[in-house]
Amino acid sequence: MAFPYVTPYPVYPSRLASPYGPFGTPAADWVAIRWGRSRGVLAFIFELLRIAPETGPAAGGTAVVLTGQGFRTGATVTIGGVAATSVVVVNSTTITAVTGAHAPGAVDVVVTLPDGRTDTLVGGFTYT
């Protein structure tokens, strides 16, 4: 069922008394929802959009950049079920990491936030 009167719109930090949204997260990670004439419902956006490069050797050691939104300090990354090393949450939209060793083939890339939420790029990385 479609909701024709539900309109997401960004939360602009310049319009807030604080640059942070609920729970101390950056306001840029939230969208407000307009329901008809009402406003004020916030939704946290967390999503993994892409990884670059998308391929690397089975021996591992490929430096990758993950982009998305809603990343937080303490996030972890697994590529093909193998924990990535040197994971750095650069900001709420970028994570850098290094792949571990894995058998050749396409594998899923998973980002896990400290609160346990995950997002997956199915077949997002290919070991060669």
CATH of the domain at 84: 2.60.40.10
Number of domains in the chain: 2
- Report the DSSP beta bridge partners of residue 26: 20
More confident residue, 43 or 117: 117
- Are both 97 and 40 inside the same structural domain? no
Residue 66: is it exposed, middle or buried by C-beta count within 10 angstroms (0-12/13-18/19+)?
A: buried
Question: Looking at the domain assignment, is residue 24 inside a domain?
Answer: yes
**In angstroms, rounded to a whole number, what is the distance separating the alpha carbons of residues 30 and 125?**
28
pLDDT in tens, 6-55: 444 444 444 444 444 444 555 455 555 555 555 555 555 788 999 999 99
Question: Looking at the domain assignment, is residue 1 inside a domain?
Answer: no
- Are both 27 and 86 inside the same structural domain? no
Residues above pLDDT 90, as percent of the chain: 53
Question: Looking at the domain assignment, is residue 114 inside a domain?
Answer: yes
**In angstroms, rounded to a whole number, what is the distance separating the alpha carbons of residues 23 and 28?**
13
- Are both 22 and 63 inside the same structural domain? no
69-82 as b/e, with b when 16 or more CB fall inside 10 Å?
A: bbbbeebbbbbbee
Give SS3 for 89. strand
* Across 12-21, 65-74, 96-105, least confident range: 12-21
pLDDT of 47 reads: 87
